[in-house]
């Protein structure tokens, strides 16, 4: 076979596989959407009758307003605190070279590498011992553990891009540390703050393990509720569970629409740059 | 410059402001990560009165039902990790210079990553279930008589893990491959290398560091399988992963020392897996990773 034929055959196989994958992704998502609007649906390509009643049902029985409130408070709290704590640390990592820096980097990598279950169980135990287990605060504090290192790793390259000469010039012109931060660093790393904030936001909303381990009945986020609804299948009609899944999907997808304006999808998962 | 002096100079970099900047994150990790981790470690070595120190571990390994979770987790995590990474490599490689509809493909694939395991499980249950669209299609075309069981078993968990971790790995590798300087490949082609030679001899060694990290991260995600194994598998049977065992010991039996021991066994097994991956890489490619990535 000539090189051209082989290349075209490979491309054909490639496109077939990608197409199959996309069909699978959209099939999985649209099945949930169709099911949430079904009056009843059993072993037919589409339901015979459609209804929006399951959304009303989900709104009432799942206490949707409260769940959304918890989710928003947790997400906002984690994003704000994670940025507040990781921003200065990322600045030091980008600017300073000191002995033991590599070891420190490894320490910051650990919460991402060690299974959340391993430190989540003793963390939850500690929280319940000190009576904050089961509160919204506990969910925020637990989610911050992997998100602070995550924020540092995303923000550091943004600080590295800012030329050191900018800071030096500003200092020579008489600006103090605070002024340099306000007028030079903050505006220049605003894209980085935005990107990391959005990525932390979407990861917090989707986080399962840590929230699951430390939450209580009043502090369940949307994902946790969805999990319990699917887990207790049979307790509630599957269409109502799917209605809640659609609410969750809509929330995540609208966030994604915003994020994709600023971050290409390949940069969203994990930066693999050599440095 | 003598080593001692350079060390001191570098240490002076860590002035009071730098320390103050690092401190909040350090304190946070200390109180909410290191402390619970070591608390768990100590707890796992806290036996009932009069029993040997390693009692909690001994009980886990002596009980066939508990011990088998290690094997069950490995049986899930290892095949799916290889599958995910080995499919991602040629796909990402093909897309390294962009393809038609690239944006559509990457945007669609970021969806499963962002939606998370719980929602994917619900979708897979519906779409691939006994009465789902796939089985309906296969039955109506006459390919099969009885629906194929793809959910509530081992296969279901494999599919769930693949749907979440394949896009993750693929997008990560795609970002890495497209960052490799295309001049290197061009030079090889000009010097007469055939496409396959370019892949095996030039690009694969350059991709090796990225592939190693991808292997590690995907393995970590697969090994910690928890909601997927419960929702899509048989949590009381063949997909009872070690995370489920740890959770049940902690929140159904409220036996924290034994739960901590299981959690530590989980972390230990996972670390052994990571070490094997890193050792394999060293054996396969001794070549250094030159700084060839473009900015």
Give me the tens of pLDDT residue by residue for chain A, a chain 275 residues long. Answer: 677 888 889 989 999 999 999 999 999 999 999 999 998 888 788 898 899 999 999 888 888 899 999 999 999 999 999 999 999 999 999 988 888 888 999 999 999 888 899 999 999 999 998 999 899 999 999 999 999 999 999 999 889 888 888 888 888 898 888 888 888 888 888 989 998 999 999 999 999 999 999 999 899 999 999 999 998 877 888 899 999 999 999 999 999 999 988 888 887 776 655 43
B28 and A223 in contact by Cβ < 8 A? no
Contacts of A88 in chain B (CB under 8 A): 20-22, 24-25
Contacts of A17 in chain B (CB under 8 A): 91
B284, pLDDT greater than 60: yes
If pLDDT is split at 50, 70 and 90, which confidence band does B248 have? very high
Q: pLDDT digits over B47-78, tens only?
A: 888 888 899 999 999 999 999 999 999 999 99
Report yes or no: A57 and A125 within 8 Å, Cβ to Cβ: no
Q: pLDDT digits over B208-236, tens only?
A: 989 999 999 999 999 999 999 999 999 99
Q: Which of A18, A86, A256 sits opposite B110 (nearest CB)?
A: A256
Containing B8, the helix (H) or strand (E) segment is helix B3-12
* Cα radius of gyration (chain B): 24
B294, pLDDT greater than 70: no
Return the higher-pLDDT residue of B15 and A140: A140
Q: In this predicted structure, what is the pLDDT of residue A232?
A: 82
Q: Which of A31, A126, A260 sits opposite B127 (nearest CB)?
A: A31
Sort B199 into a burial class: Cβ within 10 Å, 0-12 / 13-18 / 19+: middle
Q: In this predicted structure, what is the pLDDT of residue B222?
A: 95
Distances (CA, A) of B25 to A85, A145, B21: 6, 9, 8
B29 and A123 in contact by Cβ < 8 A? no
Largest Cα separation within chain A, whole Å, is: 75
Structure pTM?
A: 0.90
Count residue pairs from A and B with Cβ separation < 8 A.
267
What are the contacts of B45-49 at 24+ separation with CB within 8 A? B46/B257, B47/B257
Distances (CA, A) of B7 to A223, B12, B144, B240: 49, 9, 71, 51
Q: In this predicted structure, what is the pLDDT of residue A228?
A: 92
| ipTM of model | 0.89
Contacts of B28 in chain A (CB under 8 A): 85, 144-145, 148
């Amino acid at each position: 076979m000539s090189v051209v034929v082989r290349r075209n055959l490979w491309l054909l196989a490639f496109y077939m596989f990608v197409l199959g994958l996309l069909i699978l992704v959209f099939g999985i998502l649209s099945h949930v959407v169709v099911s949430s609007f079904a009056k009843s649906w059993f072993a037919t390509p589409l339901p015979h009758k459609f209804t929006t009643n399951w959304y009303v049902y989900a709104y009432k029985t799942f206490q949707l307003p409260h769940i959304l409130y918890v989710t928003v408070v947790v997400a906002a709290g984690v994003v704000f605190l994670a940025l507040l704590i990781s921003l200065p640390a990322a600045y030091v990592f980008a600017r300073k070279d000191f002995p033991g820096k590599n070891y420190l980097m490894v320490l910051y990598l650990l919460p991402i590498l060690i299974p959340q279950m391993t430190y989540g169980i003793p963390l939850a135990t500690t929280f319940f011992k000190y009576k904050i287990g089961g509160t919204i605060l506990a969910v925020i504090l637990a989610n911050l553990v992997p998100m602070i290192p995550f924020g540092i790793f995303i923000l550091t390259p943004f600080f590295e891009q800012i030329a050191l000469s900018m800071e030096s010039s500003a200092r020579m012109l008489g600006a103090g540390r605070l002024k340099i931060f306000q007028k030079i660093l903050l505006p220049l790393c605003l894209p980085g703050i935005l990107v990391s904030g959005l990525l932390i936001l979407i990861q917090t909303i989707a986080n399962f393990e840590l929230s699951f381990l430390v939450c209580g009945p009043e502090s369940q986020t949307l994902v946790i509720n969805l999990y319990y609804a699917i887990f207790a299948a049979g307790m509630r009609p599957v269409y109502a569970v799917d209605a809640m899944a659609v609410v969750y999907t809509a929330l995540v997808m609208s966030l994604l629409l915003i994020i994709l304006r600023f971050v290409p999808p390949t940069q969203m998962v994990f930066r693999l740059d050599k440095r | 410059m003598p080593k001692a002096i350079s060390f001191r100079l570098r240490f002076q970099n860590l002035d009071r402001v730098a320390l103050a900047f690092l401190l909040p994150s350090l304190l946070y990790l200390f109180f909410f990560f290191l402390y619970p981790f070591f608390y768990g470690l100590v707890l796992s070595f806290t036996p009932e009165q009069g029993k040997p120190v390693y009692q909690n571990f001994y009980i886990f390994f002596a009980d066939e039902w508990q011990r088998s979770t290690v094997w069950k987790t490995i049986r899930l995590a290892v095949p799916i990790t290889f599958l995910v990474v080995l499919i991602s490599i040629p796909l990402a490689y093909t897309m390294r210079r962009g393809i038609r509809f690239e944006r559509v493909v990457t945007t669609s694939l970021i969806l499963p990553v962002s939606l998370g395991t719980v929602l994917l499980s619900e979708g897979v249950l519906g779409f691939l279930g006994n009465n789902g669209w796939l089985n309906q299609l296969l039955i109506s075309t006459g390919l099969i008589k009885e629906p194929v069981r793809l959910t509530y078993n081992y296969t279901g968990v494999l599919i769930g893990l693949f749907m979440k971790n394949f896009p993750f790995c693929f997008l990560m590798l795609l970002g890495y491959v497209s960052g490799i300087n295309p001049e290197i490949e061009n030079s090889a082609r000009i010097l007469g290398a055939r496409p396959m030679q370019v892949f095996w001899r030039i690009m694969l060694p350059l991709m090796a560091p990225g592939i190693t990290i991808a292997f590690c991260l995907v393995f970590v995600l697969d090994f910690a399988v928890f909601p997927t194994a419960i929702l899509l598998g048989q949590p009381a049977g063949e997909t009872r992963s070690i995370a489920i065992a740890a959770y049940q010991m902690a929140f159904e039996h409220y036996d924290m020392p034994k739960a901590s021991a299981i959690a530590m066994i989980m972390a230990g097994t996972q670390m052994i897996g990571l070490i094997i991956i890193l050792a394999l890489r060293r054996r396969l490619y001794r070549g250094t990773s030159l700084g060839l990535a473009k900015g």
